[in-house]
Structure 1
Amino acid sequence: MICALCDALLIFAGVFGFAQVIQKFELVRQVAIYGGFIFLFIYSLKSLYAAFRNSQSLRPSAQHESKFSKIVLLTLAFTWLNPHVYLDTMLLIGSVSIKFGGENIIFGIGASLASLVFFFSLGYGARVLAPIFAKEISWKILEIFVGIVMLVIAFSLLFAKV
């Protein structure tokens, strides 16, 4: 829930803040588009490289209990200290929201709901997916999928009529 709420705040900061800056300043818009493309393109290449070069599997350690406050603080730190969260939510989503004009609030709500579904699916699905990701091939398939999705998003950002 913490991640989804923080993501929603950043999404709306992108939709109503950064998107306005992009519309008013052509240079910022160009930097956002091409910078977003370069970031996503490199990220996709990194994922595709990892799919074919890395050997990963999930081997969870023994379960142990942690304090609620420690979990909350770590979650907040991973969220707010992660530079990708600003690129993904404020830059990318803010840039894409421009094409929705006056309906950007609906776009922001939809993106926030998608984020909520993603984080809850990730949290509750982790137990189900743990045995699957104990296999190396599962990570390779995931990395290929992520790489392809990032390539599609990168080129759609580059060729979008913003």
Structure 2
Amino acid sequence: MWSSAWAGLGLGLGLIVAIGAQNAHVLRYGLRRERVGLVVAICAVSDVLLIAAGTAGVGAVIAASRTLTVVMTLAGAAVLLAYGALAARRAVRGDAALVVDAADRAPARAPAAGAVGVGGLVAATLALTWLNPHVYLDTVVLLGSVAAGHGDARWWFAAGAAVGSVVWFTALGYGAALLRPVFARPVAWRVLDVVIACVMVAIAVGLVVDLVTS
């Protein structure tokens, strides 16, 4: 029981602790201290639901349907490319920055030309999660398959993986504040957005290449 839970926690963290669409999105809003709780909650709850779906056997259904796989991959690649384009535009325009208040030297977010409302933020976060094939491969297909191998203890395995996702997104979102002194310099934001753009494009291209060659 507990061994399955620890195995789920370990595999869950191993899959999620990497530079990807979700992590880059959470990191950016964590650095900006902009609706961090909302972004973390959406990503964490989504992961928990997807892990549960995979453990229940949905992963096998997705993996068996070529049509569904193609549609999900192309849709995900389009979303990643769009997000990458937005990051590239921010890097060129310098939309995002942090300023330090002279009175207390506490970093605060400067208004950004590319800021979005709550609806736009929720839509972007949901899209980067639910339209990202990598998320399904990791949480639904892979974790679901491994969970099945634990037999009656598969839901303990799933619980461990779910805890890993919640802990990671929370730590990433709120721990990003430790990097705020670095991002007090506008050039640091430009570099971050360039990295995000490159990561998004690389993942999107990789998805399409894998689809074509599979």
Which category of TM-score, normalised to the shorter sequence, fits these structures?
Answer: 0.5 to 0.7
Q: Does structure 2 conserve the Cα–Cα contact (< 8 Å) formed by 1:23 and 1:29? A: yes
Structure 2 residue matching 1:45: 3-state secondary structure: helix
Match among 100, 105, 121 for residue 172 of structure 2 = 121
Q: Which ranges in structure 2 are unaligned for 5 or more consecutive residues? A: 1-35, 105-117, 148-153
| Structure 1 residues 8 and 91, CA gap change in structure 2 (3 angstroms) | same
Q: Partner amino acid for 2:46? A: L
Question: Do the aligned partners of 1:11 and 1:108 also contact (CA within 8 Å) in 2?
Answer: no
Residue type of the partner of 1:122? G
TM-superposed deviation, 1:160: 3.3
The equivalent residue for 1:146 is: 196
Pick closer, same or farther for the CA change 1:60–1:95 going to 2, 3 Å.
farther
Q: Distance in 2 between matches of 1:29 and 1:125?
A: 34
Question: CA separation of 1:2/1:133 partners in 2, compared to 1, >3 Å: closer, same or farther?
Answer: closer
Say which SS state the counterpart of residue 59 (structure 1) adopts: strand
Partner of 2:47: 11
Q: CA deviation at 1:111?
A: 7.8
Structure 1 residue 155 corresponds to structure 2 residue 205:
yes
Q: 124, 136, 141: which one pairs with 2:186?
A: 136
Residue 134 of structure 1 deviates from its aligned partner by: 1.8
Q: Matched residue pairs, number? A: 148
Larger mean Cα displacement after TM superposition, 134-143 or 105-114:
105-114
**Partner Cα distance (2:161, 2:182) in 1:** 30
Residue pairs, 1:1-162, within 5 angstroms: 4=40, 6-15=42-51, 16=53, 19=59, 22-23=62-63, 26-59=66-99, 82-92=122-132, 93-97=135-139, 100=142, 102-103=145-146, 113=164, 116-126=167-177, 128-160=178-210
Q: Secondary structure of 2:98's partner?
A: coil
Aligned residue for 1:82, secondary structure, equals helix
Amino-acid identity (%):
21
Q: Verify the 8 A CA contact 1:52 1:140 in the aligned structure 2.
A: yes
* Deviation readout 1:70-121 (Å, 9 max, x if unpaired): xxxxxxxx69x71233323333212555653612687996586256324313
How high is the TM-score relative to the length of structure 2?
0.52
* Structure with greater helix share of residues: 1
- The answer to whether the Cα contact below 8 Å between 1:37 and 1:154 also exists between their aligned partners in 2 is yes
Counterparts of 1:122 and 1:98, CA distance in 2: 23
Alpha-carbon distance in 1 for matches of 2:79, 2:123: 12
1:53 positional shift: 2.1
Unaligned runs of 5+ in 1: 64-77
